[in-house]
Amino acid sequence: MGETSRQQLMNNSRDAVNFKFVSGVSEYSLSLRLCQMRALSNELRIIRQLQGWVKSEACA
């Protein structure tokens, strides 16, 4: 096995590890963002329910 091909193999495996790490991080941050959006929509729904409750209380 020549020196150049061994170097190439090492570079390839390093790229693969880097890619795996980066895609893992982006996947993690994406799921985190989805969680935040879900929490936000829950908060908005609660606020809307409270507003509706306050309005109905004011009308009653």
Domain coordinates in residue numbering, the chain: 1-60
Q: What mean pLDDT comes out for the span 41-58?
A: 87
pLDDT of 60 = 61
pLDDT(58) > 80: no
d(CA 42, CA 13): 43
pLDDT(39) > 80: yes
Residue located via tokens 């109905």: 56
pLDDT(47) > 80: yes
pTM of this prediction exceeds 0.75: no
Chain mean pLDDT for the chain: 83
